[in-house]
Each structure stands twice: as C-alpha cells, then as structure tokens.
Amino acid sequence: MRVIWNELRKILTLKIMLLLVLVSAIFYQLFIVFDFDHFPNGRPSADTFKVGEEMMAKYGQYMDDKEFEDFKKVYEQRVEDATAYLQSQPEMEAAGMGSYEDFGNADLMEDEKKSELHSKVMFEDEVDVMWELQSREELIDLYEHPEWFGYSEGRKLTSEQSDRVEALRTSGNAFAIFIHDVFENYQNLSGNLANLVLVSVMIVVTPLYMADRRNKMTMLQYSTKVGRRLFYIKFAAAFIAVVTVITVQLAVFFYLYRGNDTGQFLDKKVSSVFSFFVSWWDLTFLHYILLTVMSMYIIGIAVLFLVAFISSSAPNYMTNIGLQIPLAAIFISIGIDYWIKDLTSFHLSKLFLPLSLGMLLAVSAGIFLLKWRKERIADVQ
C-alpha cells in the first residue's frame, strides 16, 4: 500500500490538481453553467415547469382520463381569465382581439397593429396567463394525441418498438407526469459532465508511464522483481485517482444540480407522452440518473485503460497526446450521445447499453492487459 500511495502522490500532484480545477472551471463556464443559470429556459418553458409541478401535486404519478378532464377545466378557467384581461384593455377591444380566441387567431403577418399589440402582451407586459395557456395547450395536445408517442420523423418503428409503445399506452404508464424540459435539461448537463470526466481522466493518466520512460527508469526497474511490479502498481494508483476525480466531479455536479429544483421529479417515470422519450424499461428519473452515473464510471475506467496503454507505448508526449485526440473525438461525438444522453432509448437496441459498455470495458482492458503481459517478460536492453 505504501508504494501505491507514493505512486498516487506522483499522479495527483499539485500541478495536476490545479490543472484539473482550471479545466473544470473553463468547461463549467463554457458548457455547463447555462443549464444551471437558465433553467427553465425562458417562456413558456418556465410556465410548463410550473404547470408540471401543479399536475404532480394534484394528480400524482400519472394523469388519467378523469384527471385530464379536470386539467381541461382549469384550462377553460384560464381562458376566461385571459379574456377578462383582454377586455380590460381598450386597445385590444378596438383591434378586434377582445377575447382569447380572437387573440390566438389574429393574423400577425398581415396586420401590423395586431402584431404590435400581440408583442406588447407577450413580450413587454409578459402577461402570465397568456404564457401559461400556451403550456397547457401543448400538454393537452400531447395527451389527446398518444399516436405521437414514440414517433420520430424519418424512422419507422419495428414491431418490438411498436409493442413497447402500445404496452405503455394501454397500461397508462405513457401518461406519467414527467415534462420534457426537466429531461432535456438533465440530458444536456449529464452529456457535458461526461465530456468533462473524459477530459479529466486523460489529464490524470497521460503522464502515468511517460516520466519513467523519459528518464530511462524502466531499465533500472525491470532489473528487480519489485521494479517489474511497478507497471501494475502505477495502474492501480491511477485507477484510484480516476475514481476519486470522477466521484468529486459528480459530487460537485449534483450539489449544483439541486438548485434546478428537479428533485420533485425523481420518482416519476421517464417514458411519457410529456417527455417525448420512450425507454425500454420502466425507469424513474432517479433510476435514469443512477444509470448515467454508472455509465460515466465505466467510460472513465475504459478511457483509463486506453490512455494508460498509450502512455506506456508512446515515445513522447506529442505522440501521446496526438493518439488521444481521435480517441476523445470518437467518445465525444458518438459515445456520449448513446451512453449518456439517449441511454435506454427504444430507438437503440434493447441490449445496446449492456453489450456496448461491456464490450468497451472488455476491449480496453484487453488491450491494456496485453501490454501488461508484454511488460512482465520484456528484456532489459
């Protein structure tokens, strides 16, 4: 353990930790802070979030037909409120927009006066009931058109996907109260966090074997039994360092994520007509979050194997970094979408997640183990 501790101190040096903090801060400002500071992002997203909270308080986990009728009654009441507001504005009456129906049907492209008044109500005065009605109308449309559930433009559902959609509709699970804005916000945040994890692992592991190779220490190490064990001892220390870094980043992330006030949705099912998402499994939002966390650890460990292999093989830092660039590009452009953001989506194969992550881990570990085996029997030259 003393040797591992010494190697761990060599990995998590003050310089590396400062670099991690700097990269994390830059990454946070560029890609993450927006989804914390601007959630819900404007109107009507903020209004949809409030309506979603109201729906959860009144109807619980799901909305059934009886509750939907109540939801529509509330909508009609808001329409009356909107009409009362419009009728209290003389210029709206004069322009022929004295009712909510007239306001909604106004030809804004052809009538400049109506367009100005419409903009005044929506964007200058920001009349709440007008925005709230937009949100309620969208939710009513989604409930009344379950045939939209699972539909994706340009994609034809397989029989298995159609069966999944039908099962969710007939059981009523498709009408879980889980709104799209909450889900999209977490998808964006978790995707960007995974990218940060990926870059952080590369920063930590890149110099793992480079210093000893550059200083010709490997020849001295391989002349002793203990020295040969340093190859995997270094890896064990790097594993501890990587898991620690990922854990700290996740802890900071979820501490900040509490501010988005989405904790009230944790027990809601993610497959919903209101979330535009269909999962192969009946996952709650909490289950989904835990799966993304698991994926981040697996991706981080797989990258650890690959970067450790590169670090032990590359002749210099330039080559080392150059080999990691395409690796990072593949993970960021493809892997993060499938393993983090669209995790368990029914547009992917049902076995995609366990098989692909298992293969990623097995292949990356296999590549590293071949190198480890080679190092164990390497001649001292």
Give yes or no for residue 255 having a pLDDT over 70.
Answer: yes
pLDDT for residue 380? 62
Tokens of 25: 């801060």
User: Please, are residues 49 and 214 in contact by the beta-carbon 8 Å criterion?
Assistant: no
Contacts of 69 (CB under 8 A, 6+ apart): none
Burial of 127 by CB count in 10 Å (0-12 exposed, 13-18 middle, 19+ buried)?
A: middle
Task: State the pLDDT confidence band at 261, using cuts at 50, 70 and 90.
Answer: very high
pLDDT tens, residue by residue, 323-376: 999 989 988 888 888 999 988 999 899 999 999 999 999 999 999 999 888 877
* Average confidence (pLDDT) over 302-321: 92
Residue 301 has pLDDT above 90, yes or no: yes
Query: What value does the mean pLDDT take over residues 124-133?
Result: 93
271 vs 377 pLDDT, higher one: 271
Report which of residues 167 and 218 the model is more confident about.
167
Cα torsion 128, 130, 133, 137 to 10°: value is -140
Q: Is 122 exposed, middle or buried (0-12, 13-18, 19+ CB in 10 A)?
A: middle
Whether 153 shows a pLDDT value over 90: the answer reads no
Predicted pLDDT at 223:
72
* Token pair listed for 201: 């692992």
Mean pLDDT of 127-141: 95
113 pLDDT band (50/70/90 cuts)?
confident
* Residue 63 pLDDT > 90: yes
Task: Report pLDDT for 17.
Answer: 95
Residue 381 has pLDDT above 70, yes or no: no
Q: How many residues does the chain have?
A: 381
**pLDDT reported for residue 375:** 78
Give the helix/strand (H/E) hosting 121.
Answer: none
Distance between CA atoms of residues 57 and 63, nearest Å: 11
Average pLDDT over residues 73-90: 94
pLDDT at 14 over 80: yes
- Averaged pLDDT, 73-98: 92
What is the rounded distance in angstroms from the CA atom of residue 304 to the CA atom of residue 364? 9
Work out the average pLDDT over 286-298. 96
Mean model confidence pLDDT for the chain: 91
pLDDT of residue 379: 67
pLDDT at 13 > cutoff 90: yes
At residue 334, the pLDDT reads: 81
Other CB atoms closer than 10 Å to residue 277's CB: what's the count? 24
Q: Enter the tokens of residue 149.
A: 């559930």
